[in-house]
Chains A and B, each alone.
Chain A
Amino acid sequence: MGEIVSRLLEVEDLKVYFTFRPGLLTRREVRAVDGVSFSLEMGETLALVGESGSGKTTLGKATLLLVKPTSGKIYFDGKNLLLLDARGMKEFRRNAQIIFQDPYSSVNPFMDVYHIVEEPLLIHGRCKAGEREDKVFRTLERVRLSPPEEFASKYPHQLSGGQRQRVALARAIILKPKYIVADEPVSMIDASSRVEILQLFKELQQTSGISFLYITHDIATARYFSERIAVMYLGRIVELGSTEDVIREPLHPYTRALIESIPEPDPKNRFTERPTVMGEPPSSTDIPAGCRFHPRCPFVFERCKVEDPQLREVRRGRLVACHLY
C-alpha cells in the first residue's frame, strides 16, 4: 500500500463537455475531455503532451476545478474535490496553483513585482505584516530574481519574458503549494532562456517536493522535465508511460508519428521528407466512432472502426489505448 500513501492527485474517468448553440434550435456538444484517468505522485512531474484541441489545457484546468467537470472523480490528498466545503476549498486553492502560457498577460501590468508576489499571502492571510517582506524577498531569490530588492520595485514591462515567467512562478510557490499546473510555461520564452526556466522548475520540484502537471505541445521539452508522459488525442489519453520509454519506443501509432515529426538539427534533413500523421485532427464536436485516431492511422483495421479501445497496461508501467496491443 506504500504507493497509495504518496499519491497526490487521482483522476477517474473525468469528462468535461461544453455545450453551445450554433443555431436557434440546435445544441451541440464539445467533448473536450472524454473519459480520462491518471494519477500523480508526490514530487512527480507528469507531462501532458498533445496538439491544439486535444483537451490538455481543459484537463489541467479541471484538476484545479477552474472548469467544472461534467462527470468523473478527482481526489486530491485523498479527498474528493467535488465534495469539498468552503474551508476545504480554500485549503485546496492554497495547495494547488497554476502558471499560464503567456507571461505578458498573466501578471497585472499596474502592480510592481513585490505586490504581485505578495498578493497570495494577503488573500490567504498566511503571515504577519512583518514577515511578509522577508518572505517575498526570499521567494524572489528562489526563482533567481536577484537582488530581490531591485526586482521588487520593477513593473512587468521592465522585465523580459523569462523574468516575468519567474515572477509568475514566485507567486505560485509563495504559499508552498503541493501541486502546480504549468500550462505551456516556456512556449513563449526565447529559446536561449527556455531551459533556464525548466531547470528552475525541476530544482523547485526536487527541493520542495512539488508535483507538476506540465502541459506542452513540445515532447522534446517534456524529456527534460518530466518523469512520465501522457499523450492526449481528442480528449483522451492514448499512451502513458515513463518519459524515457515513451520517447525511445513509442507504442501508439499517434505517439510514433508525433515523435517522428520532430527533427534533430541535422543538415541532412533537407534531402528527405519527414514522415508525419496525414490529415488534420477532426473537431471535438464530431469525434469519429471506434478508435478516435482511426481515420488518420496507418495501421487501421476493421475493429478500429467499430470498437473504442480502452487505455490498458500492455507492459509494466505502460498504458496504451490501441487495438494493436
Chain B
Amino acid sequence: MVLLRVEELRLDYMTVRGILHAVDSVSFTLNRGETLGIVGESGCGKTSIGLALMRLLPENTHSFDGRVTMNGLSLLDMPMGRFVHEIRWRRISMVFQGAMNSFNPVLRVGFQVAEPLIVIGGMDRGRALAEVVKLFGLVGLPADAARKYPHELSGGMKQRAMLAMALTLNPEVVILDEPTSALDVSIQTQIMNLLKKLKKELGLSMIFITHDITLSSDICESIAVMYAGEFVEVGPADVVLTSPKHPYTQKLLAATPRLRGSSRLEFIPGSPPDLVNPPKGCRFHPRCPFVFNRCRLEKTIVSRRDGVDVRCWLYG
C-alpha cells in the first residue's frame, strides 16, 4: 500500500555561479512498512530530496515544485504552520547526516532527545524523560545514557540516540541520511541490524539515503539510483541489484569492491557533471560506454522495463 507518493519533484538553488539544478523530475512511491534506498554519489541531490520532504529547504532555494502526498494529504502546499504541527516529526522525521556530532555538549543527552516531546508534543519534562528512557531501550541504549553528556557516549551510541529522537513522536516515515557513514564497520553493522529490527517491530517505513549501494541491499525493498539530480533507475531491490538496467547502475555495481567472488573491478572514467551547467541530453552521456547520438541531443524520458523505471535512451 502506497504511503508516500512523490511526483515531479524539482529543486534549484541559487549560487554565486548561477542556478544549480539539484533535483530534477524526481518521482517515486514509498509503500507502508517498506524501505526505499536513494543511492548516489556526493553532490547528486539525494540529501536535498530529504530536506524537501521535511520542508527544511535552505535559504538559497531558487525554485521548488512538485507534489508530495501522504495518505491523500498534499504536503507541499499545506500552510507551513499546519505542516509543522501535524507532519514534521509527527508523521515524517529525519536523522540528519552527521547530526550525532551536533548534540549540544553542555546538555544531557536525554533532555535533548526529549525535546520534540516537550516542544511539539506538549509533554511535561518528567514524563518526556521517562518516555526517552523507554525509547532508549528500544534502540539498545542503557537507561543511564539519558543522564550522560554527549562526550560520554561513543559514536555508535550517539547515533542510536539520534534514532531515538527521530522516533519520539511515533512517525510513520523516517528519513535516514547516511546514518552509518561516519561509523566503523562493526558499529555500522550493529546500526543496520537495529534498523532491521525497528522496521520489523514498529512497521516503520524508511527512506534510506546512502552513497553505498551495497549497504542499501541490507534494508531496502526498492532502490532509486540517483545521478546528477535525476533518478536514473527506480525499482525493486531484487531487480536493480541483480540485473541493473541503466549503464550508470551497471558500472556503479561493477566498481564496488567486494570481498567474495570476482576480483575484477571497473571504474567510470570522468567525474559527475557540474549541476550549474549539466550536459545536454542525458546527463550521464559524457561518461557512458553505450552513448549514441540521441543521448547527446534529447533529454531522457522514463521507460518501464521488468517493473523498473529507467531513464535511458537504450530503453526509450
Contact = CB atoms under 8 A, between A and B. Distances in A.
Interface of A: 51-52, 160-163, 190-196, 198-199, 217-221, 223-224, 247, 257-259, 261-267, 269-270, 273-274, 276-278, 280-281
Interface stretch (B88-96, B100-108, B163-171, B261-269): B261-269
B296 interface: no
A221 B251 contact: no
A51 B271 contact: no
Contacts of B252: 191-192
Contacts of A221: 257
A196 B269 contact: yes
Contact of A270 (B219, B259, B261, B272): B219
18 contacts: A51-B186, A52-B184, A160-B271, A190-B211, A193-B268, A198-B265, A224-B257, A263-B217, A264-B258, A265-B214, A267-B238, A270-B35, A270-B196, A270-B217, A273-B193, A274-B192, A276-B193, A280-B186
Nearest to B220: A270
Given A190-B272, A261-B189, A269-B218, 4 more contacts: A195-B266, A199-B265, A266-B241, A273-B197
A269 B237 CA distance: 10
A267 B241 contact: yes
A262 B257 CA distance: 11
The 7 closest A-B pairs by CB, nearest first: A276-B189, A195-B267, A220-B257, A51-B184, A192-B268, A160-B271, A196-B267
Given A51-B186, A195-B266, A265 B253 contact: yes
Interface string B139-173: 00000000000000010110000000000000000
Interface in B90-129: none
A264 B214 contact: yes
B260 A264 contact: yes
B201 to A, nearest CB: 13
Given A160-B271, A267-B238, A273-B196, A258 B156 contact: no
User: Which residue among A199, A223, A270, A280 has the maximum number of chain B CB atoms within 10 Å of its CB?
Assistant: A270
B186 A261 contact: yes
B303 interface: no
Contacts of A219: 185, 259
Contacts of B156: 280
A36 to B, nearest CB: 20
Nearest to B240: A267
B42 interface: yes
B256 interface: yes
A14 B240 CA distance: 48
B60 interface: no
B212 interface: yes
Contacts of A257: 186
B185 A191 contact: no
Contacts of A266: 217, 241
Contact of B271 (A163, A259, A270): A163
B41 A274 contact: no
Given A262-B185, A270-B196, A191 B217 contact: no
Contact of B215 (A162, A223, A263): A263
Nearest to B186: A277
Given A52-B184, A191-B212, A270-B196, A264 B267 contact: no
Contact of B255 (A51, A195, A217, A218): A195
B186 A195 contact: no
B124 to A, nearest CB: 34
B212 to A, nearest CB: 7
Interface string B184-210: 111111101100110000000000000
Contacts of B197: 273
B255 A194 contact: yes
Contacts of B293: none
B271 A193 contact: yes
Nearest to B196: A273
B107 to A, nearest CB: 22
Contacts of A262: 185, 259
A187 to B, nearest CB: 10
A207 B215 CA distance: 35
Given A273-B193, A274-B218, A280-B156, A265 B271 contact: no
B221 interface: yes
Contacts of A51: 184-186
Contacts of A195: 255, 257, 265-267
Given A160-B271, A162-B271, A265-B241, A220 B187 contact: no
Nearest to A258: B185
Contacts of A258: 185-186
B232 interface: no
Interface string B34-63: 010000011000000000000000000000
Nearest to A218: B257
Contacts of B236: 267
User: Which residue among A190, A224, A262 has the maximum number of chain B CB atoms within 10 Å of its CB?
Assistant: A190
Contacts of B255: 191-192, 194-195
Contacts of B35: 270
Nearest to A266: B217
A217 B263 contact: no
